[in-house]
């Protein structure tokens, strides 16, 4: 049995698979189920200061090789989310709290709350491709990324990760800004901005028109982003985008990721995808005589 | 593929003042209790159980309650809607005597299940419950498959005066049933569950839905049970372990809303 344990900053995980933000993580029961299916950690849905319904349906549709979504950051608001965090933390799992705001003050307030509820780390969502005033609108401005990250880092003790989008000219530059703001790690990537038009209706299907593409199709984009970031940064990276198998996860690890997140893969391989991916990584490592996952992090750079 | 297929409405039927049936071309197999996501372009996409299941076409029967159902209500033969699905598990309808109970718009889902049982020559009784007789629908359709249709109205304007759950208790004490299958207000279904001691129980649950393919987590209850995928029909054993059953649901933002 190969050793799959990994470390991201001070966060220790039994295995490198993490539930990605926004899928099966609106309540404690769902996150518990994911943990029971073998995930090394879970990220909560991105939470804001006030409750938001998100966009009207259709919010999610399937395409040839992935899914397109424009949820619009639905969430019950940080106050109502307290009981979910406290409940899931009773089961002694590693919980990463995802938050979104429109400025450093909001991010800081949300981060402090998440920390006080008991989250083990924070993920700052600066990459949602379809919410006005949030997400990538912030995450494409390296000055803002640095400012928000350092503001949160100054007052927060748990590790802080910054989640980035591939929808920028130079993701290295943004990642470097986060590192300069003292981020403890980078999460890459969020969904890729995309659209689907129905030719009978002659209009986009998603109510928000634009959405974010996830699943198999975006894996090469995610792997490229992780590789580029790893070339220029020293802090750990969490790779995400299109992972459905152990081989996919290993690709991200070799590009430079210390851990991976899985979202849409749940559709293709059901909820126990976390166990399956770990088993497949383990098998490959045994076959290739690799004892520890850490031996593989970034090997593709040589 | 889980994206809407555009189809045309081939027939409409008024059931009551504010309940309507739309039938549309949508070939394929499905089970009673399964549902579709119905897209009304420019308005919304909402979950709707099948109320008619034929080889080539399907039907939905709904009450006008808000923007999406009002837009559907205005539709006529020839109008276009988008349909994806069917989704969910559906009822497990078995041999033996079944008591079906439909409350309110839940009558739509229960009726197609009764039709399925009748086609298989399974024996069944059915209760349909509404507040006032003006809201009653599918009574005549049900009478085609079943000799006696029990009706309950809260105000006694027709049939048994009182809740469908009280009439259920009465029938359970008089007759022997192998199983009880129900769809309707959650509080009604919870009361029926507690009356069901040894009788097997299945209920179709409604939760706010977005993806309907088991990804987004919007519809989850208990320990991550997805109503769109592991449901919408759950058995009594499962429901007894879910503390929020009959107590609260979540709105589109994920906030808890208590049932009244
Ligand atoms: C599996 C399932 C099967 C259903 N089958 C039927 C049926 O056969 N007949 C029928 O009349 N109704 C059915 N419903 C309920 C129906 O989906 C709602 O009445 C409809 O969505 C209301 O939309 P609206 O815009 O008209 O009203 P709104 O004013 O938007 O809402 C009225 C109520 O409907 C709920 N609702 C709105 N959008 C959704 C959504 N996306 N998912 C779930 N609930 C929603 C709201 O929470 C609210 O309680 C079913 C629901 C589910 C989950
Ligand atoms: C339905 C859905 C909702 C999502 N919600 C969020 C969110 O709230 N916050 C966030 O940072 N990312 C969100 N994402 C992006 C995922 O966390 C992930 O970055 C992306 O889907 C790529 O990974 P995947 O291909 O494994 O799904 C969402 C993705 C999907 C499909
Ligand atoms: S509606 Fe998305 S998981 Fe059920």
Is the C-beta atom of A232 inside 6 A of ligand 1? no
* Residue B245 C-alpha, separation from nearest chain A C-alpha, in angstroms: 14
Q: Which residues of B touch A64 (CB under 8 A)?
A: 1
Does residue B239 sit in the same domain as residue B155? yes
Of the candidates A34, A76, A200, the beta carbon closest to that of B6 is on A200
Atom 39 (ligand 1) nearest CA? B208
Query: Average pLDDT, stretch B134-155?
Result: 94
The candidate with the shortest Cα–Cα distance to B60, out of B108, B26, B104, B8, is B108
Query: Which residue of chain B has the CA closest to A268?
Result: B215
User: Do the domain assignments include residue B201?
Assistant: yes
Last residue of a domain, one of B65, B87, B109: B87
- Give the pLDDT confidence score for residue B197 in this predicted structure: 86
User: Do the domain assignments include residue B244?
Assistant: yes
The angle at the Cα of A88, spanning A83 to A91, to the nearest 5 degrees, equals 140
Q: Are A14 and A71 in contact (CB under 8 A)?
A: no
User: Do the domain assignments include residue B155?
Assistant: yes
Last residue of a domain, one of B87, B111, B135: B87
User: Do the domain assignments include residue B242?
Assistant: yes
Is the C-beta atom of A191 inside 6 A of ligand 2? yes
Last residue of a domain, one of B30, B58, B87: B87
Cβ separation B220–A76 shorter than 8 A? no
Confidence label for B148 from pLDDT (cuts 50, 70 and 90) = confident
User: Do the domain assignments include residue B127?
Assistant: yes
Confidence label for B136 from pLDDT (cuts 50, 70 and 90) = very high
Residue A260 has pLDDT above 90, yes or no: yes
User: Do the domain assignments include residue B199?
Assistant: yes
**CA distances (Å), A33 to each of A41, A189, B50, in order?**
12, 24, 30
User: Do the domain assignments include residue B92?
Assistant: no
Q: Taking the CA atoms of B41, B47, B52 and B56 in sequence, report the sign of the dihedral they define.
A: positive
CATH number at residue B189: 3.40.50.80
For the record, the structure tokens of A222 come out as 């995610």
Does residue B128 sit in the same domain as residue B192? yes
The residue of B1, B38, B45 whose CB has the most chain A CBs within 10 angstroms, and thus the best one to mutate to test that interface, is B45
DSSP track, B21-59: EEEEE--S---TT-EEEEEETTTEEEEEE-SEE-SSEEE
Does residue B76 sit in the same domain as residue B9? yes
* Residue B215 C-alpha, separation from nearest chain A C-alpha, in angstroms: 6
- Give the pLDDT confidence score for residue A140 in this predicted structure: 87
pLDDT in tens, B164-203: 999 999 999 999 999 999 999 999 999 999 999 889 999 9
Does residue B176 sit in the same domain as residue B132? yes
Distance B62 CA to ligand 1 centre (A): 9
- Stretch (H or E) spanning A244: none
Query: Which residue of chain B has the CA closest to A30?
Result: B224
Q: Is B79 on the interface with A (CB under 8 A)?
A: no
Confidence label for A161 from pLDDT (cuts 50, 70 and 90) = very high
Does residue B36 sit in the same domain as residue B79? yes
Q: Is A264 on the interface with B (CB under 8 A)?
A: yes
Distance B147 CA to ligand 1 centre (A): 32
Domains identified in chain B, total number? 2
Confidence label for A7 from pLDDT (cuts 50, 70 and 90) = very high
> Is A128 annotated in the active site?
yes
CA distance A280 to B259: 45
Does residue B105 sit in the same domain as residue B198? yes
User: Do the domain assignments include residue B108?
Assistant: yes
Does residue B72 sit in the same domain as residue B102? no
CATH number at residue B83: 2.40.30.10
pLDDT in tens, A34-55: 999 999 999 999 999 999 999 9
Q: Are B33 and B2 in contact (CB under 8 A)?
A: no
Please tell me which residue in A128, A151, A225, A278 is annotated as part of the active site.
A128
Q: How far apart are the first and last CA of chain A?
A: 26
Q: Is B252 on the interface with A (CB under 8 A)?
A: yes
Top-level class of domain A6-301: alpha beta
Does residue B44 sit in the same domain as residue B153? no
The angle at the Cα of B68, spanning B63 to B74, to the nearest 5 degrees, equals 70
How many H helices and E strands in chain B? 6, 18
CA distance B169 to B158: 19
- Give the pLDDT confidence score for residue B50 in this predicted structure: 98
Residue A92 has pLDDT above 90, yes or no: no
For the record, the structure tokens of B80 come out as 């276009």
Does residue B230 sit in the same domain as residue B110? yes
* Residue A231 C-alpha, separation from nearest chain B C-alpha, in angstroms: 33
* Residue B131 C-alpha, separation from nearest chain A C-alpha, in angstroms: 31
Does residue B25 sit in the same domain as residue B65? yes
Q: Which residues line ligand 3 (CB under 6 A)?
A: B 209-212, 214-219, 226, 228
Cβ separation B217–A29 shorter than 8 A? no
Query: Average pLDDT, stretch B126-136?
Result: 96
Q: Is A190 on the interface with B (CB under 8 A)?
A: no
Query: Which residue of chain B has the CA closest to A34?
Result: B224
Query: Which residue of chain A has the CA closest to B42?
Result: A207
The residue of A22, A30, A70, A270 whose CB has the most chain B CBs within 10 angstroms, and thus the best one to mutate to test that interface, is A30
- Give the pLDDT confidence score for residue B198 in this predicted structure: 86
Q: Which residues of B touch A22 (CB under 8 A)?
A: 216
Query: Average pLDDT, stretch A288-297?
Result: 96
The dihedral region occupied by B10, where left means phi > 0, alpha psi between -120 and 50, and beta the remainder, is alpha
* Residue range(s) defining the domain that contains residue B74: 5-87
Does residue B178 sit in the same domain as residue B102? yes
């Amino acid at each position: 049995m190969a050793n799959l344990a990994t470390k991201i900053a001070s966060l220790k995980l039994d295995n490198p698979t993490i539930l990605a933000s926004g899928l099966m993580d609106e309540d404690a029961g769902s996150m518990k189920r994911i943990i029971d299916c073998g995930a090394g950690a879970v990220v909560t849905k991105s939470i804001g200061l006030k409750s938001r319904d998100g966009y009207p349906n259709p919010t999610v549709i399937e395409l040839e090789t992935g899914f397109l979504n424009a949820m619009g950051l639905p969430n019950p608001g940080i106050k109502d989310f307290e009981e979910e965090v406290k409940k899931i933390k009773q089961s002694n799992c590693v919980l990463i709290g995802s938050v979104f705001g429109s400025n450093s003050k909001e991010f800081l307030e949300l981060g402090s709350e998440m920390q006080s509820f008991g989250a083990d780390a924070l993920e700052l969502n600066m990459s949602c491709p379809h919410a006005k005033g949030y997400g990538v609108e912030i995450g494409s401005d390296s000055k803002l990324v640095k400012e928000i990250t350092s503001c949160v880092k100054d007052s927060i003790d748990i590790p802080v990760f910054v989640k980035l989008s591939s929808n920028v000219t130079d993701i290295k530059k943004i990642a470097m800004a986060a590192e300069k703001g003292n981020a403890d790690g980078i999460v890459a990537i969020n969904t890729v901005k995309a659209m689907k038009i129905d030719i009978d209706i002659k209009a986009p299907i998603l109510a928000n028109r634009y959405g974010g593409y996830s699943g198999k199709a975006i894996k090469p984009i995610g792997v490229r982003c992780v590789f580029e970031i790893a070339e220029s940064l020293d802090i750990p990276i969490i790779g995400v985008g299109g992972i459905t198998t152990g081989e996919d996860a290993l690709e991200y690890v070799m590009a430079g990721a210390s851990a991976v997140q899985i979202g849409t893969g749940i559709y293709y391989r059901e909820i126990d995808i976390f166990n399956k991916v770990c088993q497949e990584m383990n098998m490959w490592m045994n076959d290739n005589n690799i004892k520890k996952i850490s031996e593989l992090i970034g090997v593709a750079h040589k | 593929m889980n994206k809407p297929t555009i189809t045309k409405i081939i027939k409409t039927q008024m059931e009551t003042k504010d309940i309507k049936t739309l039938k549309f071309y949508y070939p394929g197999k499905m089970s009673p209790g399964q549902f579709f996501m119905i897209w009304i372009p420019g308005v919304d996409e909402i979950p709707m159980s099948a109320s008619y299941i034929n080889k080539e076409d399907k039907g939905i029967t709904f009450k006008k309650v808000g923007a999406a159902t009002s837009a559907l209500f205005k539709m006529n033969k020839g109008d276009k809607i988008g349909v994806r699905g069917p989704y969910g598990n559906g009822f497990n309808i078995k041999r033996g005597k079944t008591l079906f109970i439909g409350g309110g718009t839940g009558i739509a889902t229960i009726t197609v299940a009764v039709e399925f049982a009748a086609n298989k020559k399974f024996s069944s009784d059915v209760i349909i419950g509404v507040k006032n007789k003006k809201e009653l629908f599918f009574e005549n359709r049900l009478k085609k498959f079943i000799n006696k249709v029990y009706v309950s109205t809260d105000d006694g304007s027709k049939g048994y005066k009182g809740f469908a759950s009280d009439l259920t208790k009465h029938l359970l004490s008089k007759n022997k049933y192998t199983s009880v299958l129900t769809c309707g207000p959650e509080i009604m279904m919870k009361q029926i569950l507690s009356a069901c001691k040894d009788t097997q129980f299945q209920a179709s649950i409604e939760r706010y839905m977005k993806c309907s393919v088991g990804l987004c987590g919007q519809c989850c209850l208990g320990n991550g049970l997805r109503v769109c995928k592991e449901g919408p029909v759950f058995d009594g054993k499962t429901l007894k372990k879910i503390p929020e059953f009959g107590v609260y649901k979540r709105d589109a933002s994920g906030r808890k809303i208590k049932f009244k």
